Amino acid sequence: MHRFGLFVGRTLPVLVTICFIAALTSLSAPAHAGGYSAIVVDADTGRVLHAHEADTQRYPASLTKMMTLYMAFDALKDGRLKLDQRIPVSAHAAGQAPSAIGLRPGQTLIVRDAILAAVTKSANDATVALGEAIGSGSEAQFAAMMTRRAHQLGMTSTTFRNASGLPNPGQKTTARDMATLAQALLKNHKTYYTYFSTPEFEWNDKVFNNHNHLLKRYEGVDGIKTGYIRASGFNLVASAKRDGRRVIGVVFGGTSVTARDNRMIELLDTAFEKIDGSNAPVMAEKTDRNFGLISSAEAATAKPAKSKQVKPRTEAKASNGANGGAGNGEWAVQLGAFKQAAAAEKLLDRVRSKLPAAEPLVDAVDAGKVTLYRARLTGLTQTSARQACEQLKREKMTCSVVSPDA
């Protein structure tokens, strides 16, 4: 009995702890955890350019900070806060899990620095301090204020439980609601929105780089926020402006930072083609391990049933498509496949100066019910084709190498 009692005394606390952890895990990781959702909208008209499970609830993670900052901008606008005002740092705020800038209880923080820390480092301690300053010292009260304001903006599927986006089973949103929030930030707080393009933030002799890599990777991106917790995967809201037109993209559930960013680039590329009045590059759909869509490079090497010539309006020459546009054993690169020849021509015009040694070609192929126009650069060696693609990809353009026998 003595040995049995000793065994129970040592084992029971362990079993209770395991059960408690299991219960917490079941709360924090429901069936939809990490699921892929996306939406892209024309920021000027509200037109939806792409949507995939846009109304399915997901965990926002640090995208939550977009709402916290919206509330801060509201407070700045009506005079409840000032940019140079010092706000207190509570023990609760200082004790937030990283990411953090290392605030200590009893410290004070300038509002402007709290905003920049939230935007760049996605600092939970600074964000909670900012929320408490608006919510009369209570993060819970501030979260309730966030939810009410979100619903006023039309984010009817969103509930906030904290200011930072740290895991909470009750904190949920949708891709559509996050796009709505991004539009509201641009419309209602245009001046303060520029904070989202801050490349780095220096504080207390430390430099914090912005987590949004698309600020450097994609032409026209000027914000706005990344997010990650295990239950959500890698999330991103991005806004880009080109030729006077702006689009907003939302991606939930990336398997990695790179996969998330690359998917956003594909979505933004397609969106700009659509709002330019031309058809978007054709992308075949099938499930893959990242996002449920195959890459445009795979679509580029698809074999249509038959081909025909097209007479482009530019100097780009037309081929019969029989050898994939490579011709006489030469290599080529493909930039996209379109439903309109004008769209392919426009893209070739855009890149001709970058690769003057290559010959532009619009390749018309009959893919059954639709004719596709492939934008290609031909007359290249294997080495120069690969170098050309690498150069174009560095400039945020999609590209795939086409061999002579493709």
Count of CB atoms within 10 A of residue 213's CB? 17
Contact by Cβ (8 Å): 211, 197? no
| Percent residues over pLDDT 70 in the chain | 76
pLDDT above 90 covers what percent of the chain?
Answer: 57
Residue 196 has pLDDT above 60, yes or no: yes
> Hey, which residues are catalytic here?
62, 65, 122
Residue pair 63/122 in contact (Cβ under 8 Å)? The answer is: no
CB 305 within 8 A of CB 368: yes
pLDDT band at 305 (very low <50, low <70, confident <90, very high): very low
- What is the pTM assigned to this prediction? 0.65
**CA 321 – CA 36 distance, rounded (Å):** 36
Quick: pLDDT tens for 110-163: 999 999 999 999 999 999 999 999 999 999 999 999 999 999 999 999 999 999
Per-residue model confidence (pLDDT) at position 333: 83
Contact 383/315 with Cβ under 8 angstroms?
Answer: no
Among candidates 184, 182, 195, 190, which has minimal Cα distance to 239?
Answer: 182
Average pLDDT over residues 242-248: 93
Structure confidence by residue, pLDDT tens digits, 321-350: 333 333 333 688 888 887 777 777 778 877
275 or 40, greater pLDDT: 40
DSSP string computed for 81-146: --TT-EEE--HHHHTPPSS-----TT-EEEHHHHHHHHHHT--HHHHHHHHHHHTTT-HHHHHHHH
- Per-residue pLDDT, 366: 65
**pLDDT 10s digits, 359-390:** 888 877 765 556 777 888 888 888 888 888 88
- How distant is the alpha carbon of residue 278 from its chain centre? 23
Distance, in Å, from the CA atom of 75 to the CA atom of 46, rounded to the nearest integer, reads: 26
Q: How confident is the model at residue 406 (pLDDT cuts 50, 70, 90)?
A: low
